[in-house]
Amino acid sequence: MTRDLSTRILHADRQAGVEHGATHKPLHIATGFGYERAEDLAAVFQGDRSGYVYGRQGNPTTAALEAKVTLMEDAVGTVSFATGMAAIVSTMMALLQRGDHVVASRFLFGNTASWFNTLTQMGCEVTLVDATEAANVEQALRPQTRMVFVETIANPRTQVADLEGIGKLCHARGIVYIVDNTLTTPALFKGKAVGASLVVHSLSKGICGHGNALGGSVSDTGLFDWSSYPNLLPAYRKGPPANWGLLQVRKKGLRDLGGTLSAEHGHRIATGAETLMLRMERACSNALALARWLETSPLVAKVHYPGLASHPQHARAAKLFRHFGGLFSFETVDGIDPFDVLNALQLVIKSSHLGDNRTLALPAARTIFWEMGEEMRRSMDIADSLIRVSAGIEAEADLLDDFGQAFETLEMTK
């Protein structure tokens, strides 16, 4: 019998054998690794033997975290990075060349959207489409399209991409399909289930959970046939083709660009991951309770949460995800300033982070989506009054109470 993912995450380190029988993988802070014989050092450099050489390419602590993410995504391998952005940018820098074309969802994490502008300046072409329908992605494809990039649940408006439809399309056309699984995490969804080639994570969010470490990862599901991918260097076409893509990401993306995850942060993320399943259950049920409550408030114009029957992709989310996620957003009615709502909250923290154990909220248009300007915000459906909430794991009653007292204060002063 296959054990539950929650059990397997907890025992992942020990199964690979931990030094001194420790129940945790230890924190290895060494920058360099030495060998008795020069031949052995050379063999590791030449890829004929596995081992560590210099910390920029990883160390035993980050390798243990990578193995844990591989297990969580049911993947064949993972490379970790210093942040989620480092993972996304390094993966694309490693696998794309000038003249290549990328299709991406136009509902994206703001910094990913900003990176696509940079990628365009560097000679790749990027087409942004409404990825809630695979047909829009299909129409945008060109002979030079190498990659399609989507998020499972988009931040902050919670659109759910047509993950299955796009997966089928990419498979049929031999295009690398990258799914950013940060908002759902493997506790709710695995990219492999919809045919993703690569799954990226900001490990800083739900997988770490405690808001005390930054990290990112990219995992290869083993579904993509890298022998047909034109941008791989001959040096990395070694061994089984399923490993080629990730090998180039490790060498070109991690080693050459240097966005390495520190051992200390890797260790904290690995500890956080042990309770991922428990924390996500609570965060998702808190998000659902708050979203339902807000939907009934006269001060709220709209609530965006895939767990509500009113959400346009509710049925898709119910089919694909174990729960509906910890993130939702809402728009206030005219005359209610989102700043006043946020300032009236006493327990909820005004912060830009998400996937934290604490409930966090922010005025999206005036913070994380400010720099891109009004026109871009409009194209991403981000209303000026939009408040994004990342539900934490507090007691549900305390969160409902906090929103209740805040809205009462606003009604009185309206």
- Encoding tokens for residue 354? 């998400």
CB-wise, 100 or 356, nearer to ligand PLP? 356
83 binds ligand PLP (CB under 6 A): yes
Give me the least distance between CB of 312 and ligand PLP, in Å please: 19
Which residue in 66, 65, 117 sits closest to 92, CA to CA?
Answer: 117
CB-wise, 62 or 332, nearer to ligand PLP? 62
Give me the least distance between CB of 381 and ligand PLP, in Å please: 16
84 binds ligand PLP (CB under 6 A): yes
CB-wise, 80 or 248, nearer to ligand PLP? 80
Residue at token pair 């009004």? 374
Give me the least distance between CB of 337 and ligand PLP, in Å please: 26
Of the candidate residues 151, 220, 274, 356, the single one contacting ligand PLP (CB under 6 A):
151
CB-wise, 60 or 84, nearer to ligand PLP? 84
Which residue in 38, 17, 35 sits closest to 26, CA to CA?
Answer: 17
Give me the least distance between CB of 91 and ligand PLP, in Å please: 12
- Encoding tokens for residue 111? 């910094």
- Residues from 163 through 182 that contact ligand PLP (CB under 6 A): 180, 182
CB-wise, 354 or 383, nearer to ligand PLP? 354
Of the candidate residues 96, 183, 247, 300, the single one contacting ligand PLP (CB under 6 A):
183
Inter-CA distances, 395 with 141, 206, 311, Å: 46, 18, 25
3-state helix/strand/coil string of the chain: CCCCHHHHHHHHHHHCCCHHHCCCCCCCCCCECCCCCHHHHHHHHCCCCCCCCEHHHCCHHHHHHHHHHHHHHCCCEEEEECCHHHHHHHHHHHHCCCCCEEEEECCCCHHHHHHHHHHHHCCCEEEEECCCCHHHHHHHCCCCEEEEEEECECCCCCCECCHHHHHHHHHHHCCEEEEECCCCHHHHCCHHHHCCCEEEEECCCCCCCCCCCCCEEEEECCCCCHHHCCCCCHHHCCCCHHHHHHHHHHHHHHHHCCCCCCHHHHHHHHHHHCCHHHHHHHHHHHHHHHHHHHHCCCCEEEEECCCCCCCCCHHHHHHHCCCCCCEEEEEECCCCCHHHHHHHCCCCEECCCCCCCCCEEEEHHHCCCCCCCHHHHHHCCCCCCEEEEECCCCCHHHHHHHHHHHHHHHHHHC
β 125-129/145-151 pair status:
unpaired
CB-wise, 75 or 208, nearer to ligand PLP? 208
217 binds ligand PLP (CB under 6 A): no
85 binds ligand PLP (CB under 6 A): yes
CB-wise, 206 or 222, nearer to ligand PLP? 206
CB-wise, 202 or 243, nearer to ligand PLP? 202
Give me the least distance between CB of 398 and ligand PLP, in Å please: 25
Of the candidate residues 60, 216, 307, 363, the single one contacting ligand PLP (CB under 6 A):
216
Closest residue to bound ligand PLP by CB: 84
- Residues from 186 through 215 that contact ligand PLP (CB under 6 A): 202, 204-205, 214
- Residues from 363 through 392 that contact ligand PLP (CB under 6 A): none
CB-wise, 96 or 203, nearer to ligand PLP? 203
CA–CA separation, 341 vs 410, rounded Å? 7
- Residues from 271 through 310 that contact ligand PLP (CB under 6 A): none
112 binds ligand PLP (CB under 6 A): yes
Give me the least distance between CB of 186 and ligand PLP, in Å please: 14
Give me the least distance between CB of 75 and ligand PLP, in Å please: 18
- Residues from 346 through 365 that contact ligand PLP (CB under 6 A): 354
Q: Could you tell me if 155 and 388 are in contact, meaning their C-beta atoms sit under 8 angstroms apart?
A: yes
260 binds ligand PLP (CB under 6 A): no
Q: How many residues bind ligand PLP (CB under 6 A)?
A: 17
CB-wise, 110 or 236, nearer to ligand PLP? 110
List residues binding ligand PLP (CB under 6 A). 83-85, 109, 111-112, 151, 155, 180, 182-183, 202, 204-205, 214, 216, 354
